[in-house]
Amino acid sequence: MNPGRRLAVTLAALALSAFGLWLATRLVWLRTSYQSPLRGALSVQSTGAEVRPELAAVALVAVAAAAAVVATSGWPRRLVGGLVAAAGAWAVWLCWTWPAIAPAPGSGGSGAGAEGQASSAPHPPADAVVVGLPERTAAPLLGVAAGLVLLAAAIGLVCWANAMPRLGSRYAAPGTARRVPDRDSQWWNALDAGEDPTLSRPPTDPGAPR
């Protein structure tokens, strides 16, 4: 795999993981049914943003890492890879262990009385009682997959740090940019070298033969 393709694959992995984590926060992770004497049957849905709001921060880390990758090389790029690896592992842990904060069946209807319920779902009415088992969706698996992709991108950053081009060099400060000699200087240099500069003039030159 050539250096340009390695960079493209790494950036694609970072973008894919960021999108996957963001999408996971928008999906429903948990549906809980309640019975209220005043309102009857109720269903409360909890999204990933309510269950694990930290995933949005991890997605932002992936986006920031993509920007840092194209502007760094060598050890700074490996440092970015280490931070990305930590963020990816954290995302996997957050999504894999989230049932620990899900409301337990029969935990009661008081919104503030159940710690898990208060942390993972909007508060139901105070007189509501949980009916049956909470229904967990497969949405957290998307967060796990996105975290694993982020880990793979981190491995690529660490292993290919010096084998990927540094696109940020084209945005270097004007003082460090290479100066392009003007046409007259190029002609004089060609004459000094014993060459005929008129043979290499661009077609757009007004003096070029038609």
Q: Which amino acid is at 62?
A: A
If one compares 117 and 88, the residue with the highest pLDDT of the two is: 88
Spatial separation of the C-alpha atoms in residues 179 and 93, rounded to whole Å:
51
User: What percent of the chain has pLDDT above 90?
Assistant: 40
For residue 154 the two structure tokens come to 């981190």
pLDDT at 172: 44
**How far, CA to CA in Å, does 176 sit from each of 80, 169, 172, 179, 181?**
25, 10, 6, 9, 15
If you average pLDDT over residues 101-117, what whole number do you get?
A: 42
pLDDT tens, position by position, 141-150: 999 999 999 9
Burial 23-37 (b: 16+ CB within 10 A, else e): bbbeeebbebbbbee
| pTM of the shown model | 0.67
Q: Which residues contact 134 (CB under 8 A, 6 or more apart)?
A: 30, 31, 32, 102, 103, 105
176 in a structural domain: no
pLDDT at 142: 95
Asked whether residue 125 carries a pLDDT value surpassing 70, the answer given is no
Phi and psi angles of residue 41, each rounded to the nearest 5 degrees, phi first: -75, 135
Asked whether residue 23 carries a pLDDT value surpassing 60, the answer given is yes
Q: How many residues does the chain have?
A: 210
113 in a structural domain: yes
* Cβ–Cβ under 8 Å, residues 51 and 24: no
Rg for the chain, CA atoms, rounded: 29
Same structural domain, 186 and 97: no
Same structural domain, 91 and 185: no
Same structural domain, 61 and 97: yes
Q: Is 148 helix (H, G, I), strand (E, B) or coil?
A: helix
11 in a structural domain: yes
- Into how many domains does the chain fold? 2
Spatial separation of the C-alpha atoms in residues 137 and 114, rounded to whole Å:
21
Same structural domain, 135 and 209: no
**Residue-number span of the structural domain to which 41 is assigned:** 3-168
If you average pLDDT over residues 12-27, what whole number do you get?
A: 96
175 in a structural domain: no
Same structural domain, 105 and 208: no
pLDDT tens, position by position, 151-188: 999 999 999 888 888 764 444 444 444 555 556 666 66
Asked whether residue 55 carries a pLDDT value surpassing 60, the answer given is yes
For residue 132 the two structure tokens come to 């049956």
Same structural domain, 201 and 115: no
Closest-CA residue to 137 (of 93, 111, 102, 171): 102
Q: What is the dihedral of CA 102, 105, 106, 107, to 10 degrees?
A: -10
